[in-house]
Amino acid sequence: MSLAVILSHLMTIPASLGRVWRWWIGELRAVGASITERAGWTSGCETRVIPDETGFAVLVCRGGQLESETRWTPEDGDPPPIDGAVTLEAPADRTLTHFLTFPAAVQSDLASAAELQIARLSPVPVTQIAWALGAPSPGSQPGTVTVPVTLLLRSTMDPWLESLRARSIRVDRLETPEHARFEVPGVGLTPTERRWFPIARAALAITAIGGLLAIGALWQHRLDDESTWLEETLGHVRRAAAEDVALRTQLEREVAIAKLLAKHAKAPDPVRLIATVNEQLPQEMWIQSIDITGREARVIAYVPARADIGHLLLDLPSVLTVTEDARVPLGAGIGAERIDLSLTLREGAGT
């Protein structure tokens, strides 16, 4: 191996040392927090981090009371000291809230029912969003409940997490301002008590530091007058490569967004169509969901026993034909039925 190749690898050591040092400090802080929590010495401290346009507001709460509030931006360097569990609070202006109505009979499994509705209503796959369920409340119709569902795009959330992780800040929870916890598919937001066993983490951190010290000793003996020139050259190459990757990534995102907007530009809006239909139906009848593919729609509705909703839907200007696929009683004594319908929509319906 040539000296130039060896030096090119050695030039990356200072930046790596800085990153690993911040990681190691974060690990030791987490070890201390885990030990005190297991021993029952925790002080009930929680840190809430709230992102905005320029940086983050860091609120330290102890015993349910606000203890301190500071501001921090990534350009400031190291963040203020973080103690206790870390909660990332999504600002209300970066989220979207829907109010979903369900029969009271499904209240015991609202999460599963809401996830199915989110998959139908969201214009993007559920793996690209985080969602949180609020507290249910009685619905406008007897025997129903209304649940607020807050949605947050992963493309909005991920830069916040990456910025904090780059400074060795571990995010335990992602919540709304109302403290509803987000479900984030594929992201490991793990409570502090479920992290690695503290002794194993401490051993890993100490081993990493020992290896870095050995590499640092080798680096000091091998560095010579060519190091400055090699560092500058490699820096130019890395910056050019990073700019190229960032540009390609941005272009791919813009193309994907353009295709998605073009696909949904003329598609019927299920939420608006549900609201329009429910406004024109009698109070004892309502539409729960509409799944639209082109001009075909699958409808789930709840009506009184043996009631006919088909002729009412045909009176709507957006509906061309109605076919009843199934009718299922909700149970003895309820006096209501669930109806599955197939609709053919007129051109431009629901837009």
Say how far apart CA 102 and CA 154 lie, in whole Å. Answer: 27
DSSP-based helix, strand, coil % in the chain, nearest 5:
45, 25, 30
**Domain contains 219:** no
**Domain contains 72:** yes
Whether residues 43 and 72 share a domain: the answer is: yes
State residue 340's pLDDT score.
93
State residue 196's pLDDT score.
42
Which amino acid, 2? S
**Domain contains 215:** no
Whether residues 341 and 278 share a domain: the answer is: yes
Whether residues 136 and 166 share a domain: the answer is: no
**Domain contains 121:** yes
Whether residues 170 and 147 share a domain: the answer is: no
Extended beta strands in the chain, E state:
45-51, 56-62, 65-72, 85-89, 96-103, 129-133, 137-138, 144-153, 173-175, 182-183, 286-293, 296-304, 319-329, 336-345
**Domain contains 217:** no
Using alpha carbons only, give the angle 68, 58, 43 rounded to the nearest 5 degrees.
55
Q: Which domain holds residue 82?
A: 3-91+158-204
- List Cβ neighbours of 319 (8 Å cut-off, separation of 6 or more): 313, 343, 344, 345, 346, 349
Whether residues 78 and 9 share a domain: the answer is: yes
Say how far apart CA 47 and CA 82 lie, in whole Å. Answer: 7
Whether residues 83 and 164 share a domain: the answer is: yes
Chain mean position to CA 245 = 24
Question: Pairing state of beta strands 296-304 and 336-345?
Answer: antiparallel
Whether residues 236 and 253 share a domain: the answer is: yes
**Tokens, residue 34:** 């885990």
Give DSSP secondary structure letters for 179-216: -PBEE-TT-----GGGS--HHHHHHHHHHHHHHHHHHH
State residue 156's pLDDT score.
84
Whether residues 101 and 140 share a domain: the answer is: yes
The candidate with the shortest Cα–Cα distance to 327, out of 298, 297, 305, 296, is 305
The candidate with the shortest Cα–Cα distance to 110, out of 131, 125, 130, 89, is 131
Domain count, the chain: 4
State residue 194's pLDDT score.
38
List, for the chain, all residue ranges whose pLDDT scores fall below the cut of 50.
40-42, 190-197, 350-351
Say how far apart CA 292 and CA 286 lie, in whole Å. Answer: 17
Whether residues 85 and 162 share a domain: the answer is: yes
Contact 37, 192 (CB under 8 A): yes
Whether residues 78 and 165 share a domain: the answer is: yes
Whether residues 87 and 190 share a domain: the answer is: yes
State residue 117's pLDDT score.
80
CATH of the domain at 299: 3.30.1360
Whether residues 169 and 42 share a domain: the answer is: yes
Contact 6, 222 (CB under 8 A): yes
**Domain contains 13:** yes
> pTM to 2 decimals?
0.40
State residue 266's pLDDT score.
54
Question: Pairing state of beta strands 137-138 and 45-51?
Answer: unpaired
**Domain contains 213:** no
Q: What is the pLDDT of residues 184-197, one digit of tens each?
A: 665 555 443 334 44
Contact 90, 182 (CB under 8 A): yes
Using alpha carbons only, give the angle 219, 165, 52 rounded to the nearest 5 degrees.
135
Contact 73, 54 (CB under 8 A): yes
**Domain contains 170:** yes
Say how far apart CA 224 and CA 7 lie, in whole Å. Answer: 9
